[in-house]
Chains A and B, each alone.
Chain A
């Protein structure tokens, strides 16, 4: 597979959220506003890319029987670094989504890519895979956050979209997140079926 394809597959064909249904909790929890969603997406990109690189580099050194704890340590290290940087330089974001930043540790996308891809490929390919998957995550979470924030709060990145329109409050609440996610997945299925024909 060419390097470019390696990067591209995470965005549509194997989109971690919409196709593989990994990393659901942060997608649902932080998609109430675009600001939070983009913060989350960028954090995942950073952690995923670097964890893929590091794990690909140490794969020869780690015995296969204890590889999972080793990967978890690497991921927890990166997550804590990102968490501290956000607390230092974007305190408001940290207050809003801090718990879910910490929970990137148990995000199945990261461990899944480490196990399925980084542990078998060279650092360059692993980095591209991580970057692509991360961007796929960012795109998916942004789509959901856009739908929820526009319909639920009549805003996008905090700016009013249609002045004077009363939004549908439930889209911001947990139920709205599940509803949006289910519908977006269904739409993606329709599109994929069309392409397959």
Chain B
């Protein structure tokens, strides 16, 4: 009996210290975690609609059994010049969340993949920057004193979507400026991103035409 009490007490003390410690660390990191998330969203919002001056509150649209989250996009005079649709689909091995900026007629302004955890080197290349910067260049630039030129920070795969109408959003395996060129070796991811752009636009336009907004 005495030993059981002793064991229980030891376990309780260790678990208690660990629990209190964790709640302390949780309090410390809660801020940065939330901040990192909202920063990523804000950056994404600007990139998906560069000409916008402000964005509306997050709204929800339920249509055809699917839920689309969207923001209204305003110019300086508070006129609605477009929308940003937030939608997620399943990719090859993770959930892909995409923010798509569209004009009122459904033409894509730009897209931004907010979340993905696809295979590194294949699907994860949706976030790869266009520069084909080689290891050697990167190594040399470490030692060169002058600051590098700012390169485009829009991944080439995502840049393809800009200016396209929803009916042109078809994944092809050849280089074709009219459609979306798939990432090599990652057709499932490419198709999923395209679906995450196309599907909400079509649903949104349909709901808008029916006056459901």
Contacts and interface: CB of A to CB of B under 8 A. Distances in A.
Contact of A70 (B3, B11, B36): B11
A142 to B, nearest CB: 14
Contacts of A172: 119-122
Query: Which range holds the interface residue count of chain A?
Result: 35 or more
A155 B10 contact: no
Given A81-B22, A81-B25, A32 B119 contact: yes
A88 B120 contact: no
B14 A149 contact: no
User: Which residue of A36, A65, A70, A173 has the most chain B CB atoms within 10 A of its CB atom?
Assistant: A70
Interface stretch (B26-34, B156-164, B197-205): B26-34
Contacts of B135: 156-157, 159-161
Contacts of A162: 134
A84 interface: yes
Nearest to B19: A77
Contact of B122 (A36, A62, A158, A169): A169
B32 A167 contact: no
Nearest to A164: B132
B69 interface: no
Contacts of A159: 133-135, 137-138
Contacts of B15: 73
B138 A65 contact: no
Nearest to A169: B185
Interface in B130-183: 132-135, 137-138
Interface stretch (A89-97, A107-115, A185-193): A89-97
A66 B18 CA distance: 16
Given A81-B25, A173-B122, 15 more contacts: A32-B120, A36-B120, A63-B7, A66-B7, A69-B11, A77-B18, A77-B21, A87-B33, A91-B33, A91-B36, A91-B37, A95-B117, A96-B120, A160-B135, A166-B184
Interface of B: 3, 6-7, 10-11, 14-15, 18, 21-22, 25-26, 29, 31-33, 36-37, 40, 115-117, 119-122, 124, 128, 132-135, 137-138, 184-185
Interface of A: 32-33, 35-36, 58, 61-63, 65-66, 69-70, 73-74, 76-77, 80-81, 84-85, 87-89, 91, 95-96, 149, 152-153, 155-163, 166-167, 169, 172-173
